[in-house]
Amino acid sequence: MLAHTTAAPDADTGVAADALMVARMRLVLSVSALLAVVVDAGDHREHIHGTVWLAFCGYVLHSLLVYACTRMGRPYFQGKVIHWSDVLWFTLIIFVTDGVQSLFFLFYFFAILTSAFRWGFEEGARVTVASVASFAACGLATSTGNDAPQLLMRSTFLLALGHMIVHWGGSKLGLQRRLALLGDVSQLSNPRFGAGRTIARTMEKTLAFFRASHCILLTRDTASGNWVLRTLRKNDACEHVSVETIGRIAESPLMALMALPTGQTVLSNRLPWPLSRLCAQSHVFEPAAAAGWRAEDEEGAQRCEAVAAMLEARAFISAPLPMRLGEGRVFVSSRDGLFNKPDALFLTHLMEQIFPIIETIEVLDRMASEAATAERLKFALDLHDTAVQPYIGLRMGLCALRRKAAADNPLSEDLEKLTDVADGVIADLRRYAGEVRQGANGCGGLVLPQLHRQAARIKGLYGIDIAVAVDGPLHLDDRVSAEVLQLVGEGLNNICKHTQARRGSVRLACSNGRLHVRIENEAGQESFTRFRPHSITERAAALGGRAQVRQCESGGTAVLVEIPI
């Protein structure tokens, strides 16, 4: 089973180029067929029936229209309906020519090729069957009894060669999708996002690729001995992965597969009757065995039936996880479709590629957490001594000046405001020092309050109004949330230091697996000049994203940050 992946811009460009090439070849084919009729007619054109000329000229006009519209980028003319229209035109051409004797039955291979190599095995198989049926119907409608052997041979030839084309076309697309998935998974392994985020995104991609109903990850850490069960259902985003620590799962059917020898991959399909009586429904792949795949024995078959019943699945694959610091298995199940042996082997290969990276990220996380715990205490003390204490001294000095000033002194009000600002800064620094000492946990849901707090601080210090807006829900983990707050803080500081704007805005949105941050300020007295915010650009690049600066329609400046999440 192969799933359609989301097309990237490069993939869209490739699809458009393929569609244009196919349209060009269709036009060449139609013109060549018309020229063949003209040459065949020779000096006896009156013997060519008018319906023949109408059919060939109509197909030329159809091919010309498709080519022109494809060249203009019309998406409708890049879809599946075009090769189905080709099948109808070819059937009409065969019907108005010599039926079974017509050499134009070879045109069916054009529709089979384009459908198989562009849309895969299933679409190509449908076109092949439709082509054989159409040719057989034309043959039966126009042939005599003497044409039956030729009808049978040509139909068989069309079916056999069409099947080979469809098989190779489906294999090509399957290989492309697998390479695309491996590329996507390798890009997910950013240590800044943490191991949990990488595992969740891998499960999401795997679930979409196999068009499965559930993706389950069962792992055990040898150090703690705890089992962790992660579950993701169909059509759920990676933020909805269910994570559960389980102590007693010895009675679960999943544990029966955990007892299998290391490296064995299990494939189970619930076949309909009578295939269930003729073929084995469960197979095991043993890398060390010469034969590779073998059918499960009776005990293994019962074990697979129990797992399928628990997952409410028609088919499932269970592949081992190559973990150095524990053990585990991945389960991919489907309620409707079936899996094949290449699917099972690819799932095993996918886990072999990603889990060593995940374990490395976990080790880095553990080392970073242990180092950060000790560093936070030292940093909190340094922050109190080097930042909070001077502000306390400044506040005491302001209070002394305020007491010395007479009641009618024009600076009394300003001194009062400065004292209030110093109180606010001291409170913020103390709160920040406390967060540093304890560690920021679960700040993903606190992005909006933190942004409002930053906006209020800028309003109090600089008198600049900052509007904060969030489009839709934000699903950010701790690491990304902390980086976003740093990015926004740097952008707002740039507004305060380098512009004379009195208003600005911050807008956050998540779409298509990316976080979009827009930091904007109104047009001031200074003219717009292009620049590169080094700190923001470097932070965005470290997260796998990018930052750019644009001029707004109102004349202001907007910093746009895009980060994959």
Q: Please state the rounded mean pLDDT for residues 101-127.
A: 90
Confidence label for 158 from pLDDT (cuts 50, 70 and 90): very high
Among the listed residues 449, 448, 458, 463, the one whose alpha carbon sits nearest the alpha carbon of residue 507:
448
- Amino acid 45: pLDDT: 53
- The per-residue pLDDT for 387 is 66
Residue predicted with more confidence, 251 or 84: 84
Residue 342 scores a pLDDT above 70: yes
Mean pLDDT of 186-195: 66
Q: Which long-range contacts (CB under 8 A, 24 or more apart) does 251-260 make?
A: 252/310, 253/303, 253/306, 253/307, 253/309, 253/310, 254/216, 254/218, 254/307, 254/310, 254/329, 254/331, 256/303, 256/306, 256/307, 257/303, 257/307, 257/318, 257/329, 258/218, 258/327, 258/329, 260/284, 260/320
- Flag whether pLDDT at 298 surpasses 60: yes
Q: What pLDDT sits at residue 78? A: 78
Task: Specify the pLDDT at position 58.
Answer: 92
Mean pLDDT, all residues of the chain = 80
pLDDT for 471 equals: 84
Q: Locate the DSSP E strands across 358-454.
A: none
Mean pLDDT, residues 160-173 taken together: 91
The first and second tokens of residue 545, run together, are: 């994203």
Residue 443 has pLDDT above 50, yes or no: no
Q: Rounded mean pLDDT of 134-152?
A: 82
Q: What is the pLDDT of residues 466-501, one digit of tens each?
A: 998 888 777 676 667 777 888 888 888 888 888 888
Q: Which two tokens stand for residue 407?
A: 């009641």
- If residue 107 lies in a helix (H) or strand (E), which one and from where to where? none
Whether the predicted pLDDT of 350 surpasses 60: yes
Instruction: Specify which residues 509 forms β-bridges with.
Output: 471, 516
pLDDT per residue as tens digits for the range 498-554: 888 888 899 988 877 688 899 998 876 666 667 778 888 888 888 778 888 888 877
How far is 16 from 203, CA to CA, in rounded Å?
30
User: Residue 390: pLDDT above 60?
Assistant: yes
Amino acid (1-letter code) at residue 292: G
pLDDT above 70 (res 438): no
Q: Nearest to residue 345, comparing CAs of 415, 403, 287, 280?
A: 287
Per-residue pLDDT band for 4 (boundaries 50, 70, 90) equals: very low
Is a pLDDT exceeding 90 seen at residue 255?
no
pLDDT confidence of 441, banded at 50, 70, 90?
very low
What's the token pair of residue 447? 């992005």
- Confidence at 6, pLDDT banded by 50, 70, 90: very low
Strands (E), 128-281: 214-221, 227-233, 242-246, 265-269
